[in-house]
Amino acid sequence: MTTRAVAYVRVSTDKQAEHGVSLEAQRAKIEAYATLYDLEVVEIIVDAGVSAKTLDRPGLSRALGMLRGGKAEALLVVKLDRLTRSVKDLGDLVERYFASGKWALLSVSEQIDTRSAAGRLVLNVLASVAQWEREATGERTSAAMAHKAACGEFTGGEAPYGYRVSEDGVRLVEIPAEQSVLAQARALRAAGLSLRAVAGELARAGLASRTGKPFAATQIARMTAA
């Protein structure tokens, strides 16, 4: 029997024309897949410019509602990352909708069909690998940023008090006047003064923060941490 499927396509704002996952490309792949496997696509639902960080998306909610309402027996996507990028969210979807076999999840690129136990196994393995790759990338990025910081290179954000960003945007350069204030604050802390007392001494000396306001205790804590 022909399976009725609701197709779901999604693009984030910065990927609409990249890597073959534009809306038009997804539609074409879905139509070709449906013809090849004798699927009746009852509707193609679009989430345009929407992140996959959450399952709370209008188009996805509507597609899942069509499954619950009996308007379709399967959810069809071009790739799993169009559906979600989270193993936890994918696991929730599989448990709530596809584990029982009442509805199927079909993916064109991964050739996944959860109408079988083997298809559900492949789905979970692929999702776990994808999550591992993202976490490993995050760890490598964090390590690289820490190395840059240790080498005195600028890693983004506002330059800390006592420094400015170099003209090439990759290094922190000392500001002599602010370095003098840092030295005074550290000397006062070394003498046993509290953070609030250090702030008071700097204010009495006529020294202020970059905004022109007196230093707060939290600022003194950051300035004297090193």
The string of pLDDT tens digits covering residues 189-199 is 999 999 999 99
Question: What is the DSSP pairing of strand 104-107 with strand 39-48?
Answer: unpaired
Q: Give domain status of residue 158, yes or no.
A: no
Q: Give domain status of residue 17, yes or no.
A: yes
% of the chain surpassing 90 pLDDT: 44
Mean pLDDT of all residues in 109-114: 88
Q: What is the pLDDT of residue 17?
A: 43
The verdict on 129 and 22 lying in the same domain is yes
Q: Give domain status of residue 151, yes or no.
A: no
Exposure on the CB side of residue 212, measured as CA atoms within 13 A: 0
The verdict on 103 and 170 lying in the same domain is no
The verdict on 172 and 63 lying in the same domain is no
Q: Give domain status of residue 11, yes or no.
A: yes
The verdict on 47 and 130 lying in the same domain is yes
Bridge partners of 113, per DSSP, are 106
Q: Give domain status of residue 214, yes or no.
A: yes
Q: What is the mean pLDDT of the chain?
A: 85
Mean pLDDT of all residues in 53-58: 89
Range of the domain at 71: 3-135
Is the per-residue pLDDT at 6 higher than 60? yes
How many domains in the chain?
A: 2
* Identity of the amino acid at 170: V
The answer to whether 21 and 29 are in contact (CB under 8 A) is: no
Q: Give domain status of residue 101, yes or no.
A: yes
The verdict on 128 and 175 lying in the same domain is no
More confident: 68 or 99? 68
Q: Give domain status of residue 204, yes or no.
A: yes
Q: Give domain status of residue 175, yes or no.
A: yes
Max avg pLDDT among 60-69, 115-124, 169-178: 60-69
The verdict on 94 and 178 lying in the same domain is no
The verdict on 100 and 198 lying in the same domain is no
% of the chain surpassing 70 pLDDT: 88
